[in-house]
Structures are given as C-alpha cells and as structure tokens.
C-alpha cells in the first residue's frame, strides 16, 4: 500500500513523517502520473485557492476525482477538506465535490487566525484530541451519508463518508497520531 501526500504547498512534510512513523510507504504527489501510482491520498492544509491553481495547471482535478470515486481512500485536512467538499458556501471556488458537506472558509473569523481546543471524539469515545485550528474552515452542513467523527462543542470538525475523510484542524501538527491510525485502518480495511 503506497500513501501519497499532495506536496505542492502547505503542511505536507509532517503528514509524510507521521505516515512513515506508522510504518507506511509514502510518495510525495505532484503530477497526474503520481496520482496513478498511489493507493491512498492525503491532501494537506495550506491555502485551498493555491492548491486549486496547482490542480488546474497540472490537470489533476478529473483524475483525482475519478480515483476517489473509484474507491481510493483520501484524507483532507483544513485546506484539504475544502478541496473535497461539495460546496464552499462563502466563496465561488471549484472543489472535487466528493464529500457531501458544505463549508465556510475562515469560518471561525479572520481575527481568530489560529486557536487550539480540545475536541471530542464521539465515535471512538476516546479521550479528547488537541485540535489545532489555523484559519480553519467551518462545516455548516453534513449530508446524510456523512458521519461525524469529532466535534468542537456543536461543530463537526472531523467527518467521514466511507473512505473519504476530512478534518478542519491539523492532526499532523500534534504528536497524537490517532487520526492517522484511524484513517489507515479504514484505508486498509
Ligand atoms: N483558510 C485556508 C483556505 O481557505 C485553509 C487554512 C489551512 O489549511 N490551515 O484554504
């Protein structure tokens, strides 16, 4: 099983490190050819509009969408979840549209650029996770087939729909690898 981490921009190195620590093989993904080599994909945080420019320039949109529709597991964190989402409520930007949620970019306000908060993990009833939110998007609608994996008070902050997973925070910025472990288990299950 080869994990790809989209490596154009943003917080990709820490995702790679976490996957390697968990004993997984990792490829930094740049091109459509790379997308065809991997078995699962992580789309990191960064800036969704910048990621989109790379997607357009390198013609990655259709092939990535098709691989996900055909069952390739994918985890999007922060800007990564914005790319996966069905629609961005407050900005007219393209998405892969594979995860049936609606999202608001910078949904926690521009003035609060960044915060840390304990988030609850109702699915696993495990101890809370330290969520690091950086200019984070806010999930404002969750479709019927989408399960909420973690919440910040009333807001969903981690969701999954089959093998399509997304978080609005940055699990790779902590030493807590529970999210990556859960995703790997789902991806390889
Ligand atoms: N607000 C950023 C965006 O719209 C996401 C921030 C992040 O990934 N840390 O892409």
Secondary structure of residue 100 in the 3-state scheme: strand
- In this structure, the residue with its CA closest to atom 5 of ligand 1 is 79
pTM: 0.96
**Mean of the per-residue pLDDT values for the chain?**
95
Give the pLDDT band of residue 172 (cuts 50, 70, 90): very high
**Res. 112: pLDDT tops 70:** no
Concerning whether 78 is annotated as a catalytic residue, the answer is: yes
C-beta of residue 55 within 8 angstroms of C-beta of residue 61:
yes
Q: Which of 8, 15, 170, 180 is catalytic?
A: 170
- What's the whole-number mean pLDDT along residues 120-131? 80
Closest CA to 90 of 41, 48, 148: 48
* Cβ-based burial of 148 (10 A; exposed 0-12, middle 13-18, buried ≥19): middle
Q: Can 172 be counted among the known catalytic residues?
A: yes
**Averaged pLDDT for residues 40-65:** 97
Rounded Cα–Cα distance for residues 25 and 116 (Å):
30
Say if residue 118's pLDDT is above 70: yes
Mutate to test the pocket of ligand 1, among 8, 47, 88 (most ligand atoms within 8 A of CB): 47
Kindly report, residue by residue over 143-170, the tens digit of the pLDDT: 999 999 999 999 999 999 999 999 999 9
78 C-beta closer than 6 A to ligand 1:
yes
- Per-residue confidence (pLDDT) for residue 113, from 0 to 100: 77
Separation in Å, CA 116 to CA 122, 171, 172, 175: 19, 11, 13, 14
Confidence of residue 127 (pLDDT cuts 50, 70, 90): confident
> What is the mean predicted confidence (pLDDT) over 62-89?
98
Domains along the chain?
2-188 (3.40.50.880)
């Amino acid at each position: 099983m080869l994990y790809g981490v989209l490596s154009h921009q943003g917080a990709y190195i820490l995702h790679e490190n976490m996957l390697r620590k968990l004993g997984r093989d990792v490829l930094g993904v740049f091109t459509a050819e790379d997308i065809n080599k991997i078995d699962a994909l992580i789309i990191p945080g960064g800036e969704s509009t910048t990621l989109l420019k790379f997607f357009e320039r390198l013609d990655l949109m259709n092939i990535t969408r098709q691989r996900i529709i055909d069952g390739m597991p994918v985890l999007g964190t922060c800007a990564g979840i914005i790319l996966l989402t069905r629609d961005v409520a407050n900005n007219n930007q393209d998405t892969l549209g594979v995860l049936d949620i609606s999202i608001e970019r910078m949904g926690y306000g521009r003035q609060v650029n960044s915060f840390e908060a304990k988030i609850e993990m109702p699915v696993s009833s495990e101890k809370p996770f330290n969520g690091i939110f950086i200019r984070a998007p806010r999930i404002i609608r969750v479709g019927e087939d989408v399960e909420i994996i973690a919440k910040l008070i009333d807001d969903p902050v981690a969701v999954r729909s089959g093998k399509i997973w997304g978080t609005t925070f940055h699990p790779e910025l902590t030493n807590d690898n529970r999210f990556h472990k859960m995703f790997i288990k789902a991806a390889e299950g």
